[in-house]
Amino acid sequence: MAEIIRSGAFLQQCWSVHPLCLTVKRIEPERIVVLTCSSCRMVHRVTTGAITTHISTGNPSLPARVIAQPDGLVALQSCLSTHAPALSVREMDVFQDAVWVRCAECRSQFDLTVSQFETHQK
C-alpha cells in the first residue's frame, strides 16, 4: 500500500529540486488539485480553500488584473481543460499554505490557499 504523508514539506522539496517536472494533472471533487512529478514519481494533492485568479494585461507596464471572484476554481478547471501542458507551479510556501500556478498559454496566475497537503508515494 502506498504511504500518504500529510505535510507540505515533500511538495516543497520536490518543487525546489525539480520544478520543471511538476505539473497540474487534474482537479478532483472536494477542491483537490492533483500535482504529479515526472522525476520523483510522487503524487501531491492539495486541498484548496480559496483560489484567486490574476489575468495578465499583456502589457508589462500595467499590473495584472485581479479577478474578484469568490472562487477561481472554475477558471482553473477551464484553463486545465484547454491547455493543461502550459500549467506549472511557479512558487509555493508551506508556511503561508499557498501554491501559485501559472499558465504560459493565457498568462493567468492562480493563487491557491491550501488547507491540506498530501504526498502519495508509489
Give the structural domain span for 20: 4-120
Res 66: pLDDT: 59
Compute the distance between CA of residue 66 and CA of residue 112 in angstroms, rounded to an integer. 14
| Total number of domains constituting the chain | 1
Convert 65-103 into a string of H (helix), E (strand) and C (coil).
EEECCCCCHHHHHHHHHHHHHHEEEEEEECCCCEEEEEE
Q: Find residue 51's DSSP bridge partners.
A: 112
Nearest to 29 by CA among 68, 71, 73, 69: 73
- pLDDT at residue 68, rounded to an integer: 47
Comparing CA positions, the residue from 29, 4, 10 lying closest to residue 92 is: 10
pLDDT string in tens for the chain (122-residue length)? 568 889 898 899 999 998 999 999 999 999 999 999 999 889 999 999 989 888 766 666 666 665 545 578 999 999 999 999 999 999 999 999 999 999 999 888 999 999 999 998 76
